[in-house]
């Protein structure tokens, strides 16, 4: 991915986050922190 694609993905994510409810945002943040800590997506 080049810089333009990364920027486009970031702005798309911002649009999505703006329409989420606070509960959904909290869930996303929790998942993101877990991914950072474990370095990979957890399979449930």
Please report the pLDDT score of residue 10 as a whole number: 84
Contact yes or no for 41/35 (Cβ under 8 A) = yes
Does a structural domain hold residue 44? no
Does a structural domain hold residue 22? yes
Please report the pLDDT score of residue 20 as a whole number: 79
Range of the domain at 10: 3-38
Please report the pLDDT score of residue 41 as a whole number: 57
Maximum distance among all Cα pairs of the chain, rounded to whole angstroms: 33
Does a structural domain hold residue 11? yes
Please report the pLDDT score of residue 40 as a whole number: 63
The pTM (predicted TM-score) of the whole model is 0.41
Does a structural domain hold residue 43? no
Residue pLDDT, tens place only, 1-44: 688 888 888 888 787 777 778 888 888 888 888 887 776 655 55
Does a structural domain hold residue 29? yes
Please report the pLDDT score of residue 1 as a whole number: 65
Structural domains counted in the chain: 1
Does a structural domain hold residue 30? yes
């Amino acid at each position: 991915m080049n810089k333009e694609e990364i920027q486009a993905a970031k702005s798309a994510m911002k649009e999505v986050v703006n329409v989420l409810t606070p509960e959904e945002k909290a869930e996303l943040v929790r998942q993101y922190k877990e991914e950072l800590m474990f370095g990979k997506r957890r399979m449930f």
